[in-house]
């Protein structure tokens, strides 16, 4: 039985700044993801605070929101069989130092905060995050 899912991916400011968006999109396509929606935007810090609200009690929350709003990002809806988990696998561990070979964060991540990509962590959160960026 097929289980086609959508997930939200963000290419974060550190990667867009280094012009890695084309290469990262190729990595998604090579793994069988279709990019069904895509936009390059810069968000306000207040929007980043809403997006990352689940982390509001964490010590890194303020820096994280300042960072996500610090420059252009590429926001995408990815579609594939088991897209949510497969995207998490392709991204690699949150800390690039712990990420497996062949993952986006291993290849391009600079540090735990500048780790190049965001990906939804569940089907439920994917819906919320897709709506956040693409509800017109």
Active-site positions read: 118
Q: Residues in the site for Mg ion, rule: CB under 5 A? A: 121
Instruction: Find the part of the chain contacting ligand UDP (CB under 6 A) among 19-27, 39-47, 107-115, 127-135.
Output: 107-115
Query: What is the Rg, in whole angstroms, of the alpha carbon atoms belonging to the chain?
Result: 14
Size of the site for ligand UDP (CB under 6 A): 9
Is the CB of 125 or the CB of 136 nearer to ligand UDP?
Answer: 125
Does 89 bind ligand UDP (CB under 6 A)? Our answer is no
Strand-strand pairing, 73-81 and 34-41: antiparallel
φ and ψ of 81, to 5 deg: -55, 130
| Region of 70 on the Ramachandran plot (φ > 0 left; ψ -120 to 50 alpha; else beta) | alpha
94 binds, among ligand UDP, Mg ion, none (CB under 5 to 8 A by kind): ligand UDP
Q: Least distance (Å) from ligand UDP to the CB of residue 94?
A: 3
Does 60 bind ligand UDP (CB under 6 A)? Our answer is yes
Q: Least distance (Å) from ligand UDP to the CB of residue 60?
A: 4
As given in the structure block, the two tokens for residue 32 are: 């069988």
Does 46 bind ligand UDP (CB under 6 A)? Our answer is no
């Amino acid at each position: 039985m097929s289980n086609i899912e959508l997930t939200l991916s963000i290419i974060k400011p550190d990667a867009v700044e280094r012009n890695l968006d084309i290469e990262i999109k190729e990595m998604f396509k090579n793994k069988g993801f279709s990019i069904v929606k895509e936009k390059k935007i810069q968000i306000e810090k207040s929007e980043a605070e809403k997006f990352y609200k689940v982390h509001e009690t964490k010590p890194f929350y303020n820096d994280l929101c300042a960072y996500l709003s610090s420059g252009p990002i590429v926001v995408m809806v990815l579609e594939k069989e088991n897209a949510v988990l497969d995207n998490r696998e392709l991204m690699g561990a949150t800390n690039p130092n712990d990420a497996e070979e062949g993952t986006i964060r291993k290849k391009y991540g600079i540090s735990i905060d500048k780790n190049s990509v965001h990906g939804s962590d569940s089907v439920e959160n994917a819906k919320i995050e897709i709506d956040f960026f693409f509800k017109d």
